[in-house]
Amino acid sequence: MAEKRFYITTPIYYVNGTPHVGSAYTTIAADVTARFERLRGREVFFLTGTDENATKVYEAAQEQGVAPEAYLEQLIPVWKEAWRDLHIGYDDFIRTTEPRHVEAVQEFFRRLQESGDIYLGQYEGWYCVACETFWRESDVTDGLCPNDWCRRPVRKMTEETYFFRLSKYQDAILRWIEAKPDRLLPDFRRNEVVAFIKQGLRDQSISRPGEEWGIPVPGAENQVVYVWFDALINYLTAAGWPNDAETFQNTWPADIHFMAKDIFVRFHCTLWPAMLMAAGLPLPCRLIGHGFWTAEGRKISKSLGNAIAPGDLARMLSDASGCEPDVAADAIRYYLLREVPFGQDADFSFDGLKLRFNTDLANDIGNLCNRTFSLIHRLFGGKVPALPGGDSPVRDALKRAAETMAQEMEEQRYSNALQALSDAIKEVNKHLNDRAPWNLHKEGKTDEAAGVIAESLESVRAFTILYSPFLPVAAERIWAQIGAAEPLSAQTWDRAAAWEGLPAGAELPQPTPVFPRIEAPKGQKAAGKAPGAGKDASKPNKKASVPAPSEESGKPTVSQTEPSAESKDESNFISIDDFAKVQLRTARVLAAERVEGTTKLLRLDVEMGEEDRTVLAGIAESYAPEELVGKTVIVVANLEPKKMRGVVSQGMLLAASGPDGPVLVAPEKAVDSGSEVR
């Protein structure tokens, strides 16, 4: 029986356009971890993929007048290419429209149906046609509408959807979390999960009737499986479930699920564990929810022009520095993981990227390499000097760096891991300064000089291995310059700080800086404008951007992780069209009363032209119910109904925020109720 593989996942992404910096973050972190674990000798199974069963996919395809399948075929290569640009070495790329996944989802569904954890819910409720209001069973006692002013007979509504018995697993999930707190990282987000679950979980509707696109519910072909239920199962599908028992055995459970914070609490830390428990499958070992990236202080959004594709970013950096594009892509990997602790929100800035590039990569690593190589050429004819044994500050520094790095990587603290390497590099640079082998050589202490330089070179060998999960291509470039007999790919973690040296006498090539420093233009610091920050951003880099099927409409871009997470444009302006969506109308208050058990909430029954409505407003601390009756107010008429304290609010009152609470807004002269407000 093979040893269990170290199983790493990213979420499956909702496909639309290209991944941007934010979307790439999760995948890069997962890739670094995969490479790190491989380096440590583990067999790794690294999965990413795409979420394709969302209704949005269908709609986007419709809009283009193509079949969803064709629409997806256009886009998938774009994503794969983006991952290739960022040196993402996934082992499997799952698409949720693949037969293997459809099969798995349906099988999963069937099993839970059999065990009783999926049931067909008569989505039972009462409905008042007059009020267009759904009422719960408990609201209706006598077959009449609970609204006092209505009291008309209500109709029984039953819509059949399937439910997952999520509520049943509430306590079990909490126990699972508390048993081993480091399963959910970071800790402050784990606390949110606990708080969320403790509020109480309700059974989850997991099917949708009448959808055109999605995985059909087995035995009920008129319904499709709720996209989240479908999406999460991808982690099982790719692990071979349910047919390939052997693969599944040595793959599942996942060792780390990576994701952004928006899909951490409800889906990955609540729904998913419950689903697995219901299916009798082991739960993942770790889930980690990282923060969001903004770009130059603004939310990443295509319509703001700052949703830059990582490939474009690499080209920009490459142009600024003169490094090869693949090295630039590595630098982006480095920057993203180095800049902030994993888990926290962060702001991407091109200046920040360049600063990191110069300080950490060019000045520290790059310069250490370069000065070491050129010393060997200058003093020893380009031949590798022998590494002395025995104690050495360099040796100690390497050992400490490797140990710290390993510890930090255990809990995905990439920033700290990289920090440890930076510190060690500085130590080696200092050691070189202190021992000044160029002087030793001048003084005739050739052996001593050789020893110091050999140590320095040995550190480069070690650092190259240690950095390689973060900088896979750059590490190759450096490796090619140190005179190693074996390829970098043959190296292991243990050998990095083993002080094993390089073959003495080996001939080194002429050194080539891997990270050419970015020189600021004369007279000014901080070159280049931030990407997408300026006005020019409205003209995206045409040549570089991939032909996005959906045109350059101002549609919201993909959020950092999907599926189905919303992402709205956050510019300060909305278009007139946006505003036109809001229907404001006048209404006359017929009756008002406090909502029982609340301090702020008032229930208003208003007449809006022909129609009567119930509207809740949080103004009870500023207005007595009596004083409102007969007043004319302005109502947002097309706000989606919202239920609070068992009452459905069918709109919202406009009120100014006064110093002592809300102040209702009213027409300046009398107008009919139901009048449009523009």
Helix, strand or coil for residue 602?
A: strand
Work out whether 156 is an interface residue with RNA (CB under 7 A).
no
**What residues from 517 to 546 belong to the interface with RNA (CB under 7 A)?**
517, 525
Q: What percent of the residues of the chain are helix, what percent strand, and what percent coil, each to the nearest 5?
A: 40, 20, 40
Per-residue interface string for the shown chain with RNA, residues 249-268, x marking contact by CB under 7 A: ----------------x---
- Please identify which residue in 220, 355, 484, 565 interacts with RNA, judged by CB under 7 A: 355
Neighbours of 122 (CB within 10 A): 12
Closer CB to RNA, 359 or 571, in the complex: 359
Helix, strand or coil for residue 32?
A: helix
Work out whether 642 is an interface residue with RNA (CB under 7 A).
yes
What residue type is 374 in one-letter code?
S
The values of phi and psi at residue 295, to 5°, are: -120, 120
Neighbours of 80 (CB within 10 A): 15
Minimum distance from residue 618 beta carbon to RNA (Å): 3
Closer CB to RNA, 94 or 449, in the complex: 449
Helix, strand or coil for residue 512?
A: coil
Helix, strand or coil for residue 12?
A: strand
Per-residue interface string for the shown chain with RNA, residues 335-354, x marking contact by CB under 7 A: -----xx--x----------
Residue 26 tokens read as 């999760």
Minimum distance from residue 517 beta carbon to RNA (Å): 3
Closer CB to RNA, 38 or 333, in the complex: 333
Beta bridge partners, 642, equal 649
Minimum distance from residue 77 beta carbon to RNA (Å): 33
DSSP 16: S
Q: What does the CA dihedral 60, 63, 65, 69 come to, rounded to 10 degrees? A: 10
Sign of CA dihedral 199, 204, 210, 212: positive
Question: Which H or E run contains 216?
Answer: strand 216-217
Work out whether 330 is an interface residue with RNA (CB under 7 A).
no
- Closest by CA to 43, choosing from 4, 9, 10, is 4
Minimum distance from residue 415 beta carbon to RNA (Å): 9
Closer CB to RNA, 161 or 367, in the complex: 367
Sheet bearing 6-14, strands edge to edge: 92-95, 44-51, 6-14, 256-260, 287-290, 184-185
Residue 112 tokens read as 């839970």
Work out whether 100 is an interface residue with RNA (CB under 7 A).
no
Closer CB to RNA, 63 or 192, in the complex: 192
Residues 6+ apart with CB under 8 A from 591: 148, 149, 604, 605, 629
- Closest by CA to 673, choosing from 637, 622, 623, is 637
Per-residue interface string for the shown chain with RNA, residues 401-440, x marking contact by CB under 7 A: -------------------------x--xx-xxx-x-xx-
Minimum distance from residue 241 beta carbon to RNA (Å): 30
Segment near RNA (CB under 7 A), from 81-89, 92-100, 363-371, 401-409?
A: 363-371
Closer CB to RNA, 99 or 597, in the complex: 597
- Please identify which residue in 154, 314, 616, 664 interacts with RNA, judged by CB under 7 A: 616
Minimum distance from residue 572 beta carbon to RNA (Å): 14
**What residues from 484 to 523 belong to the interface with RNA (CB under 7 A)?**
513-517
Segment near RNA (CB under 7 A), from 5-13, 35-43, 483-491, 646-654?
A: 646-654
Asked whether the bond before 242 is cis by omega within 30 degrees of 0, the reply is: yes
Per-residue interface string for the shown chain with RNA, residues 375-404, x marking contact by CB under 7 A: x--x--------------------------
12-38 burial, b for 16+ CB within 10 Å, e for fewer? bbbbbbbbbbbbbbbbbbbbbbbbbbb
DSSP 30: H
Closer CB to RNA, 196 or 248, in the complex: 196
Minimum distance from residue 196 beta carbon to RNA (Å): 6
CA end-to-end distance (rounded Å), the chain: 72
Q: How far apart are CA 152 and CA 149, in angstroms?
A: 9
Segment near RNA (CB under 7 A), from 242-250, 501-509, 534-542, 590-598?
A: 590-598
Work out whether 561 is an interface residue with RNA (CB under 7 A).
no
556 CB burial (10 A radius; 0-12, 13-18, 19+): middle
Closer CB to RNA, 453 or 497, in the complex: 453
Number of residues that bind RNA (CB under 7 A): 61
Minimum distance from residue 278 beta carbon to RNA (Å): 23
Work out whether 365 is an interface residue with RNA (CB under 7 A).
yes
Q: How far apart are CA 58 and CA 461, in angstroms?
A: 51
The values of phi and psi at residue 547, to 5°, are: -60, 100
Segment near RNA (CB under 7 A), from 390-398, 400-408, 444-452, 645-653?
A: 645-653
Minimum distance from residue 338 beta carbon to RNA (Å): 10
Per-residue interface string for the shown chain with RNA, residues 647-666, x marking contact by CB under 7 A: --x-xxx-------------
- Please identify which residue in 154, 618, 633, 637 interacts with RNA, judged by CB under 7 A: 618
User: How far apart, in Å, are the Cα atoms of 258 and each of 8, 45, 193, 235, 261?
Assistant: 8, 14, 16, 12, 10
Segment near RNA (CB under 7 A), from 133-141, 184-192, 443-451, 570-578?
A: 184-192
Binding site for RNA (CB under 7 A): 188, 191-192, 195-196, 199, 265, 340-341, 344, 355, 358-359, 362-367, 369-371, 374-375, 378, 426, 429-430, 432-434, 436, 438-439, 513-517, 525, 595, 597-601, 615-620, 639-640, 642, 644-645, 649, 651-653
